[in-house]
Amino acid sequence: MNSRELMGNAYDGEGRDMLDGLSEYCTGKLAEHGCPSVSVAVAERGEVVLAAAHGSADVATGRPATPDTVYGLASVTKPMTATAVCHAADEGLLDLDAPVPLPGADRWPAPTVRQLLQHRGGLGPYYDWDYGDGERVRDPDRYAVPYRAPGTGFGYANLGYRLLGRLLEQATGQDLGACVRTRVFEPLGLTGCHLGPVPPGPAPSALRYTSDGRAYPDYDCGHPGATLGWAPAGELALFAQSYDRLLKPETAAAVRHALPVNEHLGYGLGWCLSSGDGPLVQSHGGGGPGVAAMAVAVPERRLSVAVLTNCTNKAARDAILQYVLGELVPGHSAESITPTFTGPPRPMTLPEGEWTGRISAPERDVPLTLRVLPGRQIELRLAGASATVPASASASWDLHASFPLQLPTADARINSPELGLGLRLEAGALTGEAHAYKNGDTEGRLGNFLSHPCTLAPA
């Protein structure tokens, strides 16, 4: 059945007009943003009512994307892993409120399973990519260092889902991919879904591309439960509105009990949840090397949407998703699905002066000196190099700045040539996180994002 027939099963003339407009809109946005392809699906009351794809799943061969094409999901994997965790809890194989020990952490109590699902385990942001060239972070566990007491704040953490994946494997005796398949995908009839570093066979998959059109090889990472999902758009839309069928009613309610992230959104057990007026909207986005994905559901309407693209640049995904939701969900606002984890920027107000301290990297401490200059400029001296940049602040940080400086560690030298600082002024000291990262993939491949504790005192 083609996409026009699918749409006609559930919608009247207005819906057909939307489909006609969607085709033209998708084609235009793919061209505008240099995105190879998009797959869009709408499901209502357990049935896929729209399935349409545009562009090339493989640019070199010209193979077109189809509604059956399987796409990488990046962080849309998290709700799938979370569902498997909750299902195992319902069976008594694990306890959502049991502590999960962190390697080498003794300053605060261990976070619970529930806190890791909610990104409230105290961990910092992190991702790593293994492109098969021998250059990879040796031990992601060394970065599972808490930055705050569990439960005291939201911190989006792939490493929390790394820990949850291992916990599932220990509780079930299955590897993570098999566990999610047997507990989530197979019971829901999602035969095209998969969790692992390579796409499933025999369904065709979309090759993944950099923002400037270069193909990525197949790759792995150190946080598969957070990142390595695959699905065709129709099956992802069905998952978004049917996963709760696998759970006890009280567990499904716990999934949607969201602690606030900002004034518009909270985060539950693996899903973003809207707050405020209008129907509840649950969603999760994903972005990574050659991946920009989004799943959105309106539970009270049993309506869900999936938009999948095979490009690191999220612009085409975002525009197409807003077009579809604008047609299907009256009064829809992008703020109900787009998380802003740090809050809007504000002026940096730290007084002028010099600070000295260290970045605590896994292999060694790295000394640094920071000077607050007139005009909200920050000079950073590190490993014999220096840079001066403007600084800002936010609800989370009293100082936020990024520097074109290389952290001199083996892991950072792999593909993380820049350094970001997020620091709070507490008890006369600046404390927070130093991030080694790479800004995008227009040159080479997307780099790793490594978080390290950072502490400075007045000089």
From residue 107, give the alpha-carbon distance in Å to each of 101, 110, 116, 305: 12, 9, 17, 43
What are the tens digits of pLDDT across the range 139-153?
Answer: 999 999 998 899 998
Which has the minimum average pLDDT: 68-82, 212-226, 330-344, 438-452? 330-344
pLDDT band of 19, cuts 50, 70, 90: low
Closest CA to 83 of 265, 232, 279, 284: 284
From residue 436, give the alpha-carbon distance in Å to each of 121, 143, 450: 21, 12, 5
Place of tokens 């990574």: 288
- The pTM of the whole model exceeds 0.75: yes
Architecture of domain 72-336: 3-Layer(aba) Sandwich (3.40)
Domain map (residue ranges) of the chain: 72-336, 353-458
Distance CA 179, CA 186 (A): 10
pLDDT band of 11, cuts 50, 70, 90: very low
What are the tens digits of pLDDT across the range 352-409?
Answer: 999 999 999 999 999 999 999 999 999 999 999 999 999 999 888 999 999 999 999 9
pLDDT at 278: 84
Residue type, 273: L
Distance CA 258, CA 267 (A): 5
Pick the CATH number of 353-458 from 1.20.1270, 2.40.10, 2.40.128, 2.30.29: 2.40.128
Q: Is residue 234 over pLDDT 70? A: yes
Q: In whole angstroms, what separates CA 203 from the centre of its chain?
A: 25
